Structure 1
Amino acid sequence: MEKKVVDAMGKVCPIPVVMAKKAVTALTEPAEVEVHVDNTTSVENLKRLASSLGVTAAEATIGENHYTVTFHADAGAIEGAAGAAAQEVVDACSNTGAGLVYAIGTEVMGQGDDELGAQLMKTFMYALRSADVLPEKILFFNTGAKLTAEGSPVLEDLQAMEEEGVQIMTCGVCAGHFGLKEKIQAGIISNMYEIVETMNAASKVVRI
């Protein structure tokens, strides 16, 4: 089986994900696509990409800060990957999408008094958790990433919503910037490529 190598060393997410997706969906025959990256966040994002494309993937540690994720695509998987990629384009151009998405880019609600804003955010999350209709996904970026981490005043509400099926995604670059990658306790660490695709596919995006 042919092997294609994608060198994404030194690339910041979502670039490794974009490079891998292009390589896999461009296949016209069974092959392996071996993607080289230098951080574990990219490894996890690449594994989720493989799942979304319907192909299998295996990870390996080559050395310090050197990892590979190898996509194994047979003929059927290639068709599935191409179909998934095409559907993403359709969704991005459509007025309908996957559902209700909340995009939260701050740890406080509103502008002005941050102490009041923190209390408002806590109240908002409790109210959202108690609502009859929950969002399908909640995206956290910039200082909003702090809300999904250890010590967050709204962590209990987020974990409760996650148990109800709400998908919680935190920007990996943001988590890294604030030193929170090992402290995220609700949902998954995601990337901007995945966040953009989620917002494009949503039927409604509520920004906080």
Structure 2
Amino acid sequence: MANNVQVDAMGDACPIPVVKTLKALRELVGAGTVVTLVDNEVALENLTRMGHEKGCEVSSEQLGEKRYRVTLTVPEGIEVADGEPEAATCLVPAERNLVIQVSSDAMGTGSDELGRSLMKAFVYAVTQQDELPATMLFYNGGAHLTCEGSPCLDDLKALAEQGVEILTCGTCLNHYGIADKLAVGDVTNMYVICQKLEQASHVVRP
């Protein structure tokens, strides 16, 4: 038993960092701190959320590239609730690989103006889901959504900050002459797009 516990979760996939940290919290004698090292922002967000849910004071610090320290402090009088640590959940659950495939800047057929409004609403709705996608793929007309001037840019940046992989087809960016306008995520190719779709457990096409 201890009042200060160090947890090394570097290189661990979700939900292992949360599981290890929950176990360490239960090892504390009364008030104390658990300091966990992780290598990605998704783990940082998951630990922060879990810490607040358990009544802890939470602070975090980026120590370097892909290196973060999360400190959970348990105040006097607070006990971490019992329960199976395996029940811990992630923003991007490991057991599912949800991919959203976007091939146009408009949703549906008919009015393009309406379709663009619907697409903006759809991307915002994605940010509000309990389960976020692992990857969002943008190609053909959908490439415009990840570039400067896109009405979806703020929401896509928010998703990227939470660990969602945003990938846009480089051939499509070049075709439309907007390669220098990419504002969120990374450039990809058709091989990777095919690979992501084949590996997906679920694919959503708005």
SS of the residue 2:141 aligns to: helix
Higher helix share: 1
| Greater gyration radius | 2
SS of the residue 1:160 aligns to: helix
Structure-2 residue corresponding to 1:177: 175
SS of the residue 1:101 aligns to: strand
1:180 deviates by 1.1
Q: Give CA deviations for 1:28-52 in whole Å, capped at 9, x if unaligned.
A: xxxxxxxxxxxxxxxxxxxxxxxxx
TM-score, with length taken from structure 2: 0.53
For 1:98 and 1:146, locate their aligned partners in 2 and report how far apart those are by CA, in whole Å: 28
1:108 deviates by 0.4
Q: Give CA deviations for 1:93-123 in whole Å, capped at 9, x if unaligned.
A: xxxx860000000000000001111111111
For 1:121 and 1:205, locate their aligned partners in 2 and report how far apart those are by CA, in whole Å: 17
For 1:103 and 1:139, locate their aligned partners in 2 and report how far apart those are by CA, in whole Å: 5
* Residue 100, structure 1, aligned to residue 98, structure 2: yes
SS of the residue 1:107 aligns to: coil
Structure 1 stretches of 5 or more lacking a match? 1-96
TM-score, with length taken from structure 1: 0.53
1:129 deviates by 0.8
| Larger relative contact order (Cα-Cα within 8 Å, sequence gap ≥ 6) | 1
4+ residue runs over 6 A deviation: none
2:122 to 118, 121, 124: 124
Structure-2 residue corresponding to 1:135: 133
1:169 deviates by 0.3
Q: CA RMSD in A?
A: 1.5
Structure 2 stretches of 5 or more lacking a match? 1-94
1:176 deviates by 0.4
SS of the residue 2:181 aligns to: coil
Structure-1 residue corresponding to 2:108: 110
Query: 1:22-171 counterparts in 2 under 5 A?
Result: 99-171=97-169
Q: Give CA deviations for 1:76-107 in whole Å, capped at 9, x if unaligned.
A: xxxxxxxxxxxxxxxxxxxxx86000000000
